[in-house]
Amino acid sequence: MDSVLLVGAAVMLVAILAVRISVRAGLPSLLIYLFMGVLLGEAGFGIQFDDANVAHALGFAALVVILAEGGLTTSWREIRPVMGTGVALATLGVVVSVGVMALGGHYLLGLDWQLAILLGAVTSPTDAAAVFSVLRRMPLPRRLTGALEAESGLNDAPTVLLVTLVSSGTALDNGVAGFVGIVVYELAAGVLGGLAVGLAGAWVLRRVALPSSGLYPLAVLAFTVFAYAGMTALHASGFAAVYTAALVLGNSELPHRAVTRSFSEGVAWLAQIGLFVMLGLLLSPGRLAPHHLGLAVLAGLLLTVVARPLSVVACAFADRMSWNERAFISWAGLRGAVPIVLATIPLSAAVDGAEELFDIVFVMVVIFTLLTGPTLPLVAKLLRVSPQGQLRDLDVEAAPLERIAADLLQITVTERSLLQGVEVGELRLPKGASVSLVVREGQTVVPDLRTVLRAGDDLLVVTPRRLREKTEDRLQAVSQRGRLAHWLE
């Protein structure tokens, strides 16, 4: 046990420090963790791990925690206008993507139909951890990040069900109509069950007085896990349930919300590190052959250039986005741990060719994450979907803000923002909201109504939580249209 703790602590510290490298490079940290796992495995330090059943179970447990954190930290106000797009991408978009990949896998890659369908099913869902970690650092319109976050939170459920049924060979035992009925039931029951657990959990936590603030995050996480396990016991989609329950709890007025958010983020990081290192251990480099690289590149190109764009186009009816925004959504469909975890399902079911499928998916995820992750800022700039003067929340853990139900916003005045030259008093923020601090060239300034804002200023704005939306809208309006924004509207 002492040796396990020593190695585990060392891996954890290296993984935490590696986050800084991944942030600077614009890469999801999963790549570093995957390589750490490969290095620790049989090709490196010699740690043997080849139990697909354990990997499958631990992978699902980690995905539950990651989806819970995604729901708890997602703003319903931001994703509500684009929830239809997210649902369409997670359902119809998945169907289109699976169909294209299955056809390509069979006729182009030479896979039999079972492996071709499995290839389409495991590669179609986007990865919540990758989407949250990369896109939340980019100044993008809320409709884009909201649609991608909703998609990544919801598309695990149908693909897990499809991969499980195809791997067991029972997908069409009840016919096509029976299969569609099972999928619809599991998704609908999972969402409704998660909604019920989330509402019940919020009701309970608002009415109990726990003796320690540290118990509230544990209770919230327990409710989300309960939603997953409870719906799974009822043969409904646990992944749909855990994300829905977490979304409800994360957007409810609960005690110690900041503590809960910080705790969920820490636990999610722990789950990601453990998951990716484990998946790296599961890969056997000696099993890789040159043709695996070719198949992985062909599958990745088919997914990125054909399947993903077609799935986005098929869901165009659900939104009013421009074609530039749809093109960005197509490119930003980041894959990560989810396809690799899903590839462990046929591996644990001993499907013929499952090892080759796992190797192809692993290599494909690594190559195309390296391609898409760092290029997202450039693609956003070329497609002109990245706005200037974007508001971003400041993570605050101070308890007094929780007691007064207020939020602290950080706003940066960019070179192209029309906030520059505007006096603080001319912002005309909603009554109760105020600019509490201006940071200018490293110096702090306590502003008054006549303080003139300049390019490069960072503002700290305190607003009551009920007025946050109006405060953000007002600041965004002045940033885009200047001090006369109210009349120019």
Q: Which segments of 283-398 does DSSP mark as H helices, in order?
A: 290-301, 308-314, 323-331, 337-348, 354-372, 376-382
Shared domain check, 397 and 362: no
- Residues 6 or more apart whose CB falls under 8 angstroms from that of 176 comprise none
Shared domain check, 456 and 359: no
Shared domain check, 55 and 30: yes
Coil vs helix vs strand at 457: coil
- Judge whether 485 and 441 are in contact, CB under 8 Å: no
Return the pLDDT at 44: 73
Shared domain check, 160 and 32: yes
- Judge whether 283 and 47 are in contact, CB under 8 Å: no
What CATH number is given to the structural domain containing 292?
A: 1.20.1530.20
Using CA atoms, how far residue 376 sits from 127, 278, 384, 395, in Å, is 15, 27, 12, 24
The answer as to whether 387 is a domain residue is no
What CATH number is given to the structural domain containing 401?
A: 3.30.70.1450
Shared domain check, 457 and 342: no
Shared domain check, 271 and 136: yes
pLDDT digit string (tens) for the chain, length 489 residues: 888 889 888 888 888 887 777 666 556 677 778 888 888 887 677 788 878 888 888 989 999 999 999 889 888 887 888 888 888 998 899 999 999 999 999 999 888 999 999 999 999 988 877 777 777 667 777 788 888 888 888 888 888 888 888 888 766 666 777 778 888 888 899 999 999 999 999 999 988 878 887 889 999 999 999 999 999 999 888 999 999 999 999 988 787 777 888 899 889 888 888 888 888 888 877 777 777 788 899 999 999 999 999 999 999 888 788 888 899 999 988 887 788 889 889 988 888 888 889 889 988 988 888 888 778 888 888 888 876 544 443 333 333 355 567 778 888 888 778 888 888 888 888 888 898 888 888 888 898 888 998 888 888 888 887 888 788 888 888 887 787 776 655
Return the pLDDT at 173: 67
The answer as to whether 435 is a domain residue is yes
Domain boundary residue among 382, 409, 428? Answer: 382
- Judge whether 237 and 190 are in contact, CB under 8 Å: yes
Domain boundary residue among 358, 382, 406? Answer: 382
Structure tokens belonging to residue 221 = 């996480």
This prediction's pTM: 0.78
Q: Report the side by side order of strands in the sheet with 406-412.
A: 392-393, 406-412, 458-464, 434-440, 443-445
Shared domain check, 334 and 231: yes
Return the pLDDT at 337: 78
Number of domains observed in the structure of the chain: 2
The answer as to whether 47 is a domain residue is yes
Return the pLDDT at 193: 95
Return the pLDDT at 115: 92
Return the pLDDT at 172: 61
Q: Inter-axis angle of helices 52-72 and 257-282, to 10 degrees?
A: 150
Shared domain check, 102 and 51: yes
Domain extent at residue 474: 392-488
Q: How far apart are CA 99 and CA 120, in angstroms?
A: 7
Q: How far apart are CA 239 and CA 230, in angstroms?
A: 11
The candidate with the shortest Cα–Cα distance to 459, out of 477, 468, 470, 446, is: 446
Using CA atoms, how far residue 20 sits from 11, 29, 35, 312, 336, in Å, is 15, 9, 16, 32, 18
Place of tokens 């954890």: 12
